[in-house]
Amino acid sequence: MADYKELEKLVARIQQQLAPKSEVIHNTKLMGRRTQRMRQIDVMVKDKVAQFGINIIIDCKDYRHPVDVKGVEEFYGLLDDVGAQKGVLVCPKGFTDTAKVRAEGLQIDLYSPVDTDPHKWQAKVAIPALSDFRSAAISFGVTFSAPLPMRILPGFFNNPVFSKQTGKQLGTIAGCAVERWNNGGFPTGVGEHENLPIFDEEVTSDNGYGMQAPMHLYVGLHVTRELYFGQQPITKISGFRDEIKGGVIANAFQVGMLDPKEVEKSWTKIKDEAEAPIRPVITMTGLVGWAKPESERIVRGLF
């Protein structure tokens, strides 16, 4: 099949995704009002507003060069002949500056396809993005109110903790605090956060004398961030680039997994958003998690 037919099918598919409730027809014909002959239409979008029918004509050009002003004017002649309410020209190679000026004056939209599926016009797309890595220095605290003695021995915050209600072991004090941070259970705003309870229920732990005693266990967090600016690849998108107004028209897009090591290696570290050379489209925030061995070394260092 000729490439231009494949382009028409691609454009029809993208347009159907953008307007799923409209009727999108590939390769049809309309009678010309002035020429009195059938005119071939690459893609037609049919819809209704109240009692009024609307026809949008899309013409596809698989040229080796940008469409010039002559191509825009020829397309306008087609629109006028078939009485369409709106016209769109699509060309993967784009349009000349003069063509853009003329099309804007004729209220014709100019698009190029943006689609990451494998085909002749497959696009490799990336968007300007910020990667915001949040990390925290964690301090531990305990309050105790019971008619029992209490002493904090070395390694206390690595002691197992039990639910006061069920007696079930919940884990170690430090391990549960680290897990809660890693899962986003603590505040992640930059700055100081004090007296944050580690557990949502009453707990008991060893009072230093071999007895289980009720206690309140909490942490303090000093949250900091590192900002990186870079281009985040888009793994899935299907839409059109507006060659006159700029930007991409799409219902949704997907980005791939972000490798923190690659970000630190290849992206530009900045102090704040104002230093970004281009306004970011998205900001991705991630928590720098603690691994259990690391948390144990930190806890042991407290005492």
Q: What is the pLDDT of residues 159-209, one digit of tens each?
A: 999 999 899 999 999 999 999 998 899 999 999 999 999 999 999 999 999
- Do 258 and 200 share a structural domain? yes
Question: Could you tell me the pLDDT band of residue 303, with boundaries at 50, 70 and 90?
Answer: very low
Mean pLDDT over each residue of the chain, to the nearest integer: 91
Closest to 125 measured CA to CA, from 231, 258, 247: 231
Amino acid code (one letter) for 295: S
- Give the integer Cα–Cα distance in Å for 232 and 234: 6
In a domain, 242, yes or no: no
- Do 128 and 110 share a structural domain? no
Residues 187-204, buried b or exposed e (16+ Cβ, 10 A)?
ebeeeeeeebebbeeebb
**Considering 53, 86, 115, which residue would you say is the last residue of a domain?**
115
In a domain, 9, yes or no: yes
Contact yes or no for 283/130 (Cβ under 8 A): yes
- Do 161 and 26 share a structural domain? no
In a domain, 199, yes or no: yes
* Domain containing residue 31: 3-115
Contact yes or no for 58/85 (Cβ under 8 A): no
Percent of the chain with pLDDT over 90: 81
What's the pLDDT score for residue 145?
81
**Considering 60, 93, 115, which residue would you say is the last residue of a domain?**
115
In a domain, 93, yes or no: yes
Amino acid code (one letter) for 35: T
Question: Could you tell me the pLDDT band of residue 292, with boundaries at 50, 70 and 90?
Answer: low
Tokens of 120: 């002749």
CATH number, residue 103: 3.40.1350.10
CA geometry: angle 154, 155, 158, nearest 5 deg: 160
pLDDT per residue as tens digits for the range 53-71 = 899 999 999 999 999 999 9
- pLDDT greater than 50 at residue 298: no
Domain count along the chain: 2
What's the pLDDT score for residue 296?
43
**Considering 50, 84, 115, which residue would you say is the last residue of a domain?**
115
Residues 231-240 have a mean pLDDT of: 94
Contact yes or no for 45/11 (Cβ under 8 A): no
- Do 29 and 150 share a structural domain? no
SS3 (DSSP) at 80: helix
Question: Could you tell me the pLDDT band of residue 49, with boundaries at 50, 70 and 90?
Answer: confident
Closest to 121 measured CA to CA, from 24, 1, 6: 6
